[in-house]
């Protein structure tokens, strides 16, 4: 059963390039309510823990390095069918394949530096939201 909350991060590339405001505007214009929001920076240990599911993948080291190199914006979003609708809004991982009007088409520079993270399931949204907003009931 689909929940009405999801998790997102505006990644270090988009933060460094000054896209926080434009991305948040796309999110709210897409019908999402921002329930929780914070600017923070992942330590290497945080990035390793958050992306532990990818630890055996060849890109894991680069991903950890990238995600810990600068500030991120973490957010809990609310909308009916939140996970699926947000995945549509962010677009394909590869910005060259992302649809017009998606966040990644507008702000991603490569597959690796793709501007935003969006949870891929209700279960992962709950886990990822709790990771960044520990001690708060999010889902």
Look at residues 81, 83, 82 and name the one whose alpha carbon lies nearest to residue 121.
83
5 is in an annotated binding site: no
Rounded CA-CA distance 87/90 in Å is 5
Q: Rounded to the nearest 5°, which phi and psi values hold at 95? A: -60, -25
Indicate if 19 belongs to the active site: no
Please, which residues bridge with residue 118 across strands?
8
59 labeled binding residue = yes
87 a known binding residue?
A: yes
The whole-angstrom separation of Cα 84 and Cα 121 is 8
> Any binding-site annotation on 104?
yes
Q: Catalytic residue, from 19, 54, 117, 132: name it.
A: 117
Whether residue 17 is annotated as binding a ligand: the answer is no
Structure tokens at 100: 């017009």
114 assigned binding-site residue:
yes
Helices (H), 1-139: 12-16, 20-29, 44-50, 60-67, 82-90, 103-107, 122-132
Q: Which residues are known catalytic residues?
A: 117
Annotated binding site: 11, 59, 87, 93, 104, 114
Annotated binding site for ATP: 11, 59, 87, 93, 104, 114
């Amino acid at each position: 059963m689909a929940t009405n909350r999801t998790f997102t991060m505006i990644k270090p590339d988009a933060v460094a390039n000054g896209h926080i405001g434009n991305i948040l505007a796309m999110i709210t214009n897409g019908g999402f309510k921002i329930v929780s929001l914070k600017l923070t920076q992942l330590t290497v240990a945080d990035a390793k823990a958050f992306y532990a599911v990818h630890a055996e993948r060849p890109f894991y080291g680069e991903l950890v390095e990238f995600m810990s190199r600068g500030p991120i914006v973490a957010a809990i979003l609310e909308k009916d069918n939140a996970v699926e609708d947000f995945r549509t809004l962010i677009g394909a991982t590869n910005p060259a394949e992302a649809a017009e009007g998606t966040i990644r088409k507008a702000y991603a520079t490569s597959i690796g530096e793709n501007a935003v993270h969006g949870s891929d399931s209700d279960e992962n949204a709950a886990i990822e939201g709790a990771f960044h907003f520990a001690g708060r009931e999010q889902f």
